[in-house]
Amino acid sequence: MLSVLSHRTYRRLFAAQVIALTGTGLATVALGLLAYDLAGARAGSVLGTALAIKMVAYVGIAPLIGAFADRLPRRALMAGSDLMRAGVALGLPFVDRVWQVYVLIFVLQAASAAFTPTFQAVIPDVLPEERDYTRALSLSRLAYDLESLFSPALAAALLAFVSYDRLFLGTVGGFLASAVLVVSVALPRPAPPAGPAGGVYAKATAGSRLFFTVPRLRALLWLNLAVAAPGAMVTVNTVVYVRDRLGRGTGDVALALGAYGAGSMAVALLLPRVLDRVPERAVMLGGALALPPVFAALVAITTGTGGGWRWPALLATWTAFGAACSAVLTPTGRLVRRAAPPEDRAPAFAAQFSLSHACWLLTYPLAGWLGAVAGLRSAAVALGVVATVAALAALRLWPPAGPEPGEAGEAEEAGDGTRRVRVLSG
């Protein structure tokens, strides 16, 4: 899998991704401490609002960036996004009002909504061979998982020597280093758009219309919802399960989150070889269909009382969630690449970024509010139902046989000057 790093351009882009993710992880820890300084016992509500603002920025900004991606130099767009994020991080230590946090978080996440889909759309052009691209997707998945494990540990080590506001300087350094790496490489030009450009609305919704036209992308919409259900449960309620339900210490919260990351990394490491032999449909649907029985195990853990079995069972459940979600998420880039014509890749990746985070915008409050009001068992049942319905819908919508790579669809010009995709088969 590491052989793909011999490609100079991809190696530098991957390094930029890893460094920026590390800086983001440091900012996450520092932001929690800043929220506590500003709001005290209300810190949880401040972070919850900031998380909702993040998702709103992702859902609203990414399609707009996708609409203009073909007009903007991709290297300048990504480097500019990094510089904007560095500027916001530099300002965070100086805020003294909660509303200022909200404003800066929106700007920060708007810049991320510009950077990430553009980065995702660049990689297929940098690595045109599917075998290399598959390995790049696995490395990207590993980078996200390692960030969730490494950044908190790094933050804890730094906090032994410096105050938390200095962590934002690490974030600034990460984004600046990412910008330098991005401008140090020459990126392939994107495929020119075919046909009339259309208006801003038509271009902003072009990627979303692909998702509602191509069968496998319609299935991907439901797969996004399927993985958002366990992801929200783990992110929002791990601390409640470990501290309140099981009565364990704060260190075990990190251990439980690490179990989720370990399951995800294990599958990401295996998938390049698996995907050489098995189509992504079988892998992704298999991961989604594994979620309902894992949710059933979680309900049993929540319902059970006494005994030391529930802690190792929770670790096993979180590991299984991570593995199943990675099986769905890691090949997603291959699926979008196959289904979208080259000239539509930027809006397609922007739509995937936006629509997938819209699913999180639904499941995050469901996991948090339902867990707080009705209890963890009710939250597990509700999210288990969401995951089951979504997995079955994806199974029904994704045809067993579809067009071969590069033959997913053919662009046609509509009467209003916009473009649509005519599916050739499947």
Going by pLDDT thresholds of 50, 70 and 90, the confidence category of residue 425 is very low
Which structural domains are found in the chain, ordered by start? 1-190 (1.20.1250.20), 198-426 (1.20.1250.20)
pLDDT of 275 above 80:
yes
More confident of the two residues 331 and 196 = 331
Please state the rounded mean pLDDT for residues 157-171: 83
Section 114-130 average pLDDT:
83
Distance CA 89, CA 176 (A): 11
Does residue 408 carry a pLDDT above 60?
A: no
Write a three-state SS string for 22-33: HHHHHHHHHHHH
* pLDDT of 273 strictly over 50: yes
| pLDDT band for position 1 (cuts 50, 70, 90) | low
pLDDT value for 305: 66
Q: Which residue has the tokens 């992801």?
A: 231
Reported as a single tens digit per residue, the pLDDT across 211-234 is 778 888 899 999 999 999 998 888
**What is the model's pLDDT at position 417?**
39
Diameter of the chain measured on Cα atoms: 67
How far, in Å, CA of 382 to CA of 384, rounded? Answer: 5
Does residue 27 or residue 323 have the better pLDDT?
323
Element (H, E) at 279: none
Which pLDDT band, with edges at 50, 70 and 90, does 287 fall under?
A: very high
CA separation for the pair 258, 265 (Å, rounded): 10
User: Is the whole model's pTM more than 0.75, yes or no?
Assistant: no
Of residues 409 and 34, more confidently modeled:
34
Integer CA distances (angstroms), 273 to 123, 278, 412, in order: 20, 9, 36
Token pair of 65, please? 């960036």
